[in-house]
Structure 1
Amino acid sequence: MSKWTQQQTQTQAKTMYINRDLSWIEFNRRVLEEAQDGSTPLLERIKFLSIVSTNLDEFMSVRVAGITDQLKAGYAKKDFTGYTPEGLLRRIMKRTGKMVQEQYKTFRELSRALAKEGIIFTDNADLTPNQKKLMDHYFHDYVFPVLTPMAVDQSRPFPLVHSLNLYLAVTLLREGDAPDEEPYFAIVQVPSNLPRLIKVPARANSVKQEFVLLEDLIETHIRTMFAGYVPISVDPFRLTRNADLTLDEEGAEDLLEEIEKELKRRRWGSPVRLEVQKGFHPYALDMLKEEFEIGENVFEIDGPIDLSYLMKLSASLPDFDHLRYPRLEPAYPYELEEADDLFEALRRQDVLVYHPYESFDVVCDFIEQAAGDPDVMAIKMTLYRVSGNSTIVSALARAAEAGKQVTAVVELKARFDEERNIAWARQLEKAGCHVVYGLVGLKTHAKILLVVRQEQDGLRRYVHVGTGNYNDNTARLYTDVGLFTSNPVIGEDASVLFNEMTGYSAPHDWQAFGVAPADMKTKLLGLIAREAENAAAGRPARIIAKMNSLSNQEMVDKLYEASRAGVPIELIVRGVCCLKPGVPGYSETISVRSVVDRFLEHSRIFYFENGGDPEVWLSSSDWMTRNLTRRIELMCPVLDPRLKETVIRILRLSLTDNVKARILTPNGQYVRGTAEEPAAPLRSQFEAQRIVTWKRPNDSA
């Protein structure tokens, strides 16, 4: 390749693609905008501010950690978007630094707004004498007994600092030492098993609610731990370590044990980011930077480190519902609300469920009925992220104890849920379930449940496929679509899929499904190519795709090809998007929008016009390389015409949202809806609450 061609290719990469990690930062900025939006209820704004922090923690401990590892290994090759690891890391740190500054500016504004509502973050010095006395008692009764000061000197090496835990760096002088003596140094871990935000007993005749931070209370009493020394500075800090698991799956005799070992190793992951509070003592900062070898990845925080505690605050104020969104009561799907026997109802018709507007209880009820039904022979399902008190796991255990064949494909490598999934796996095995940990080298991310039942005319399969996890907690917070069906073709594909996941089975020619890594990408590329052929031939052509992320280069390039052929393409991508829309000669017919609102948009839905005979698919998969090549993923067609129309209506809502939708511009920036949008405000998540009305046969809207 000539030097000119290389330069042209590099210029094209930066012109035609948006970097995945820089795109993610833009997504987190959209979350921050929700915290800044004055039309959002105040406690909901606090919640969004918390989400910005937890999002950034995961990004740093996984994505930035991976880039840091590339740098340490001397990797300097550019990715398909034109960035080297060094250049990318420099831009990431600059942009996240600005975001954090903006986040804390927003925090100060929201703190003032909360104070006007009677919710006050206070300092120990501002408490009344009686309040101070009560907080002293709280410290000595509940906090002091669990604190452990850890000195650092020649005889006591630097203690292990856990990732994403809050600590206090204490700089001290011995009583009587001159101010210019070299100070002593110690750290104190802020207990993570105590409330971070402590409610202060109310002042006399006051209805205001006051809170102090646990680290501030400890700092007030710091001398109780260092008798004979004078603290000259007490500074909060937090370290982020590399949290990505590196497993030798092929060499592991027992995957569960290998993951448990790796989780312990995670405590010693290499440092990635150091957060210190503004005004940190220089001696203490030098100690930390030397110990962690952190370089320049130090964030100075102008406020409390780690705002994730605001999530609990938002949920813990029962008398402030006027500062929240109105409570949503999910409706039970009307097709099943009168059904005493869910199997009988599903023999008559397929049923589509749209969470959180429709209740996840129907999924739990279906599994519980299957567990107790003497005619059910087998239950098989995948479990990726499960709630802490799962009725589904309990029902599976009861079914196994009743003698049914119960198979659970539990994904032990679901990031940050590994320990919980290990516990569930052991509970299920103890009850007699067949627990499978998936295939070597692949995460099992498909969402599917299969029930095999003996009926008068033989065995019948009932299937549930979804876009989200079998988790009743997230089903109240995420928008996801689930499909119940007894369609025999889908049932046969479901059986084969479980056989592939649990045993030895040759690649299958799927009748209905698209399955990754076997053929889903090939099928999607073929569907996109078909639309391009139809457009070129003058037949109806259109693509609508809703997903969380679009970052696979081959998928992006195929969409560019379809656009050049004249296919109208409307993408609804919540988070990362590496495609640039509206670029002359490449993507003129492509639009990209992101909806960030009360609920996390999580459903993956694909629509292909197919020459006037539309196809609609539900999927567990985003269009990312990891989903298409390194995970077991599933996409399933919606065959019932009425349900297909409901799914199209869901897509149409997102495409006409002009309140919470942001439009991606060719320069990689997101802007609010343009003047071309409908004049009347339309907020898709609020309108979607009418889902039950849409689905009733007499709805003519």
Structure 2
Amino acid sequence: MDVTKTANHVASNYINRDLSWIEFNWRVLEEAQDTATPLLERMKFLAIVSSNLDEFMSVRVAGVKDQLKAGYGKKDFTGFTPAHLLKRLMKRTLRMVTEQYKTFRDITRQLAKEGIVFSEYAELTATQKKAMDAYYHDIVFPVLTPMAVDQSRPFPLVHTQSLYLAVVLLKEGDDPEDEPYFAIVQVPSNLSRLIPVPARTNSKKQDYILLEDLIKQHIRTLFSGYDALAVNEFRLTRNADLTLNEEGAEDLLEEIEKELRRRRWGAPVRLEVQKGLHPYALEMLKEEFEFNENEHIFEIDGPIDLSYLMKLANALPNHGHLRFSEIDPVYPEEFEVEEDMFTVLRRKDVLIYHPYESFEAVDDFVTEAANDPQVLAIKMTLYRVSGNSKLIEALADAAESGKQVTVLVELKARFDEERNIAWARKLEQAGCHVVYGLVGLKTHAKITLVVRQEKDMLRRYVHVGTGNYNGNSAKLYTDVGLFTASQSVGEDASSLFNEITGYSAPVHLKAFAVAPTTMKDRLFDYIRREAKHAREGRPARIVAKLNSLSNKEMVDELYEASQAGVKIDLIIRGVCCLRPGVPGLSENITVRSIVDRFLEHSRIIYFENGGQPEVWLSSADWMTRNLTRRIELMCPVMDEQLQQSVIRILQISLNDNVKARELQSNGLYRRVAAGEKEYRSQFEAMRITSWKEPSLRM
């Protein structure tokens, strides 16, 4: 293969995974900058940039720092050593944060014109200050705890991603040249970060003040007898990756609970400080967190951590013109009948496309199964569940009514561990059999199996999906789900659950491909089959819609297929390590990313197969962790009409010329050139009243 000189200044056929992720977060930031997007929606995108960066720093950057600490200096397959990569990541991220806060200032100026004003305490009227003073003394002050740092009181534990005030003090009457005192104050996370201020007289504007600003104005109430020389905000990000000894853990649930507590002491990764932080405070923080270099210290010109903007954007009343119009998900037409869902599924498979079609159909499927006296067993995987899940209630009801209910709860779902522990305990109390998966593997497959007694036989009904069983995210993420009573799918579902919950050896599956055992090899076989079709002059094409592509072997297989003449269109929202459009290597491959109102989350794979197309739904991205370290599921769509529905979803994505960006061979993205008519895939999807209409061939 030819080696290409890239914009990353590294000779490589591959784009670095972490640098690719930063490009993705830039695309999210571009949505916050897009003046065609409603103002409060731009604010949400700005909050998402912050939340994304928090996870990236606490997991990915933390991992690179761990490699450095361990003395690991080898290059990865993209040509980067950990030291080189870390410098690039921090430099690129800092540029992004600078641009993010420029965008924040622009959005707040626009919001002020709409009567939503972010004020400082000094800008308030006397009446407003009086109201805020009362709020501080009645609500805020009782919650605050000043924590001094001196010889008798060591530096207190600083929680990851919590906001603090660094306070530099001088005792009243002391010489200003004396060494100052130092203390920190945690800004309470259980109080609203943004406080609404009573309206000014004869004004329709709504003022807001930040909680930390209010505390700073009243800092003397916490340190009587001292003068505050400076009060500045700071925020620490720690390594949040769990390190589990699953082999030695007698109780995985207890082991994860212990590790969650240890997360509070994770190694420092990033320190965000308010611009103009007092030099003495900076030295105290650098010494405590062992930051010898400034590259891990981000000076923030504005409020630290903009994720609070999400709550504000969702909570503001009477500003509908600043938001996207509400979407009303359609209930799947196949289930809008008098018959029960099982009767419908005996006739035909049913496909649903979220958020355009309602997740209530999934809730109803499990609820009907729970209430149906003919249902003997329900088996289900849960990775991330919403806080008020109807599914949990239905599963608990089913168990209490005597049905065999088995739930595989993935305790290691990152940052949802505590919630999933709570669900696991609730389900166990209701009488469900709760399983925590296999040692060393996360269970990421999304599947529900219902076993029903019908006359003199048992029939299996299955739902498989590309996304989590989470009713809240189903309103915000695009995902596809398939309901079927197919015998082969049902038998495979039983085999899969038996393998996960018991000692069953992997069996030959008729319909499914499952990671980590068969999926990768099956995908490679299909990609090579397309290459063979191309070499022999038959129709050959691959279209894959995924969140991420970072597995080197998979990239190499796609390169080989491209060189054989296979046309490959990849729709990848986030990370992509494949470098498209390189002569002699990947000139037959295009990669596009769509970032818009909803999070593109569905995983769909299409193989032309010499004119006999195959369509698959999958829980797995093409990342090493998905293909080798997780239990993942890939399920065929066998009904020809439903195949056409899935192809239609792919076609709509490929036609987008408003929110689609195309990956260039240099690793950067540029917007797809708009045609004579704008085509915005998500808005087009919202206009479609039925996904069951036939589509054109790919």
TM-score normalized by the length of structure 2: 0.98
Which residue number corresponds to residue 535 of structure 1?
A: 534
- Give the 3-state SS of the residue equivalent to 2:12 in structure 1: helix
Aligned with 2:127 (options 126, 130, 136): 130
Q: Does 1:601 align with 2:596?
A: no
- The residue type equivalent to 2:100 in the other structure is Q
Tell me which amino acid in the other structure corresponds to 2:217: T
> Residue type of the partner of 2:115?
G
CA distance in 2 between counterparts of 1:631 and 1:252 reads 19
1:468, CA displacement in angstroms? 0.2
Rounded Cα–Cα distance in structure 1 between residues aligned with 2:10 and 2:225? 63
- Size of the aligned set, in residue pairs, is 693
Residue 50 of structure 2 is matched in structure 1 by: 53
Which residue of the partner structure matches residue 319 of structure 1?
318
Q: Where does residue 282 of structure 2 map in the other structure?
A: 285
Q: What is the aligned partner in structure 2 of residue 228 from structure 1? A: 225
Q: What is the CA-CA distance between 1:12 and the residue it aligns to?
A: 12
- Residue correspondence of structure 1 range 301-700 to structure 2 within 5 A: 301-674=300-673, 678-695=675-692
1:410, 1:436 within 8 Å by CA — same for their partners in 2? Answer: yes
2:46 and 2:306 in contact (8 A); partners too: yes
1:147 to 144, 147, 151: 144
- Could you tell me which amino acid in structure 2 is paired with residue 87 of structure 1? H
> Contact 2:3/2:12 (CA < 8 Å) preserved in 1?
no
Per-residue Cα deviation, 1:22-66 (whole angstroms, up to 9, x for no partner): 000000000000000000000000000000000000000000000
Kept in 2, the 8 Å contact 1:581–1:590? The answer is: yes
2:88 is equivalent to residue 79 of structure 1: no
User: In terms of mean alpha carbon deviation, does 456-465 or 250-259 score higher?
Assistant: 456-465
Contact 1:333–1:692 at 8 Å: present in 2 too? no
* 1:171 partnered with 2:163: no
The alpha-carbon deviation at position 508 of structure 1 amounts to 1.6
Residue ranges of structure 1 left out of the alignment (5+ in a row): none
Residue pair 2:167, 2:184 contacting (<8 A) in 1 also: yes
Q: Give 1:668's aligned amino acid.
A: G
Q: 1:509 deviation in Å? A: 1.1
Q: Which residue in 2 is equivalent to 1:261?
A: 258
Where 1:103 maps in the other structure, the secondary structure is helix
- Equivalents in 2 of 1:548, 1:54: separation in Å? 17
Q: 2:201 corresponds to which residue?
A: 204
Contact 1:168/1:187 (<8 A) preserved = yes
Cα separation, 2, equivalents of 1:332 and 1:399: 24
**Kept after mapping to 2: 8 A contact 1:662/1:672:** yes
Instruction: Confirm or deny: 8 A CA contact 1:573 1:593 kept in the other structure.
Output: yes
Letter in 1 for 2:34: D
Which residue type is aligned with residue 85 of structure 1? P
Of 435-444 and 330-339, more deviation after overlay is shown by 330-339
Deviations 1:462-511 (A, max 9, x none): 00000000000000000000000000010000000000110011122110
1: CA distance, partners of 2:122 / 2:263: 39
Q: Tell me the SS of whatever aligns to 2:333.
A: coil
Matches within 5 A, 1:85-104: 85-104=82-101
Output the amino acid matched with 1:166: L
Residue in 2 aligned with 1:22?
A: 19
Point out 4+ residue stretches in structure 1 off by more than 4 angstroms: 5-9, 696-700
User: In 2 relative to 1, CA 611–578 (structure 1 residues): closer, same or farther, beyond 3 Å?
Assistant: same
Give the Cα separation in 1 of the matches to 2:338 and 2:217: 61
Instruction: Kindly provide the amino acid, as one letter, of the partner of residue 75 in structure 1.
Output: Y
Q: Which one-letter code corresponds to 2:326 in the other structure?
A: R
AA in 1 matched with 2:350: V
Letter in 1 for 2:342: F
Query: What does 1:210-249 correspond to in 2, within 5 Å?
Result: 210-249=207-246
- Tell me which amino acid in the other structure corresponds to 1:493: D
Distance 2:696 2:244 in 1: 53
Q: Secondary structure at the match of 1:451?
A: strand
Give deviations 1:301-353, integer Å, cap 9, x for gaps.
00000000000010111200100000000000011112441111111110000
> C-alpha separation between the residues in 2 aligned to 1:666 and 1:6?
12
Q: Residues 424-483 of structure 1: CA distance to partner in whole angstroms, max 9, x if unpaired?
A: 000000000000000000000000000000012511000000000000000000000000
Distance 1:527 1:6, change over 3 A: closer
Partners of 2:345 and 2:278 lie apart in 1 by 66
Deviation string 1:398-425 (CA, Å, 9 cap, x unpaired) is: 0000000000000000000000000000
Alpha-carbon displacement from aligned partner over 1:128-151 (angstroms, at most 9, x marks no partner): 111111111100111000000000
In 2, are the aligned partners of 1:169 and 1:185 still within 8 Å (CA)?
Answer: yes
Contact 1:544 1:606 in 2 (8 A): yes
Taking the aligned partners of 1:294 and 1:389, their CA distance within structure 2 comes to 42
In structure 2, give the amino acid aligned to 1:121: F
Deviations along 1:163-205, whole A, 9 cap, x unmatched? 0000000000001112211100000000000000000011112
- Please state how far the C-alpha of 1:243 moved relative to its aligned partner: 0.2
Contact 1:693 1:699 in 2 (8 A): no
Aligned residues of 2:242 and 2:260 also touching (Cα < 8 A): yes
Aligned residue among 8, 30, 35 for 2:32 = 35
Distance 2:648 2:227 in 1: 67
Distance 1:339 1:576, change over 3 A: farther
CA separation in 2, counterparts of 1:451 and 1:692? 29
Q: CA deviation at 1:389?
A: 1.1
RMSD (Å) for aligned C-alpha atoms? 1.7
Indicate conservation of the 8 Å contact 2:645/2:693, yes or no. Answer: no
Q: Residues 537-565 of structure 1: CA distance to partner in whole angstroms, max 9, x if unpaired?
A: 00110000000000000000000000000
Letter in structure 2 aligned against 1:487? S
Distance 1:75 1:337, change over 3 A: same
Q: Deviations over 1:560-583 (max 9, x none)?
A: 000000000000000000000000
CA contact (8 A) 1:35 1:46 kept: yes
Give distance in 2, aligned partners of 1:538 and 1:285.
Answer: 67
Please state whether the residue corresponding to 1:591 is helix, strand or coil: strand
Task: Indicate which of 60, 64, 71 corresponds to 1:63.
Answer: 60
* SS of residue paired to 1:692: coil
Task: Indicate if the aligned counterparts of 2:166 and 2:234 stay in contact, CA closer than 8 A.
Answer: yes
Letter of the structure 2 residue corresponding to residue 622 of structure 1: D
Task: Tell me: CA distance 1:322–1:303, structure 2 relative to 1, closer, same or farther (3 Å).
Answer: same
CA-to-aligned-CA distance 1:98-136 (integer Å, 9 cap, x gap): 000000000000000000000000011111111111111
For the 8 Å contact 1:237–1:274, the answer to whether it is kept is yes
User: Aligned partners of 2:3, 2:666: CA distance in 1, in Å?
Assistant: 22
**Structure 2 stretches of 5 or more lacking a match?**
none
The question of whether the paired residues in 2 share the 8 Å contact of 1:572 and 1:592 is answered with yes
Alpha-carbon distance change, 535 to 500 in structure 1, aligned in 2, over 3 angstroms: same
Residue by residue, what CA displacement relative to the aligned partner does 1:201-241 show, whole Å, maximum 9, x if unpaired? Answer: 11112111110000000000000010000001000000000
Give the whole-Å Cα distance in 2 for the aligned partners of 1:320 and 1:596. Answer: 24
Give the whole-Å Cα distance in 2 for the aligned partners of 1:6 and 1:380.
Answer: 49
